Amino acid sequence: MKVIYILILLFSFNNIYSQTVENYGNESFSLNSEEINAMENDLKMSTVHVKVITTCSINPKWCESETMAFGSTSLVKILDGKYKNQLLNISALCTETKYKDGDTYILKISPSPSFGVGLCNNNTYNTDRSLYIKEKRFPMLFGILE
């Protein structure tokens, strides 16, 4: 029964997330894998403000399984610096987040995992960043918003 509730919850998050993302253009899809890697390196060394467009969070207890990792994720818009107006997903592994849609935060990039992660918006993180481009998804980086 818990599995059914989790699937319903994930499906609901996906629908809300998909509807919100449709309101934003596909300007972020033009980045290639090398540009995403360069952006990650630049953002690690910068103080960047972001606005949360939409967010979803997981229960950290989901990560107690030894077979699957889960993460929270937020679609954010960069407000300043070299990547101003860039949309990207910021994810946090096995962490419940309490970010508020529309609020502004400082982005702190952390290392990305070397394995796949199930996300609360019914997507997955894949170590092959070229898949995001093929799937026309916004780039995904790992980090926290303060």
One pLDDT digit (tens) per residue for the chain, 146 residues: 444 444 444 444 444 444 444 445 444 456 788 888 899 999 999 999 999 999 999 988 878 766 778 999 999 999 999 999 999 999 999 989 999 999 999 999 999 888 888 888 788 887 887 777 777 788 899 999 99
Residue 93 tokens read as: 């592994």
Per DSSP, the residues of the chain read -HHHHHHHHHHHHHHHHHHHHHTS-SGGGG--HHHHHHHHHHHHTS-EEEEEEEEE---GGGGGSSS--EEEEEEEEE-SSTTTT-EEEEEEET------TT-EEEEEEEPPPSS-EEETTS-EE-S-THHHHHTT---EEEEEE-
Pairing of β 87-93 and β 104-110: unpaired
pLDDT given for residue 118 in this prediction: 87
pLDDT given for residue 134 in this prediction: 73
pTM of the predicted protein model: 0.77
pLDDT given for residue 10 in this prediction: 45
Lookup result for tokens 């894949």: 126
pLDDT given for residue 66 in this prediction: 67
pLDDT given for residue 29 in this prediction: 53
pLDDT given for residue 91 in this prediction: 94
pLDDT given for residue 92 in this prediction: 94
Pairing of β 87-93 and β 48-56: unpaired
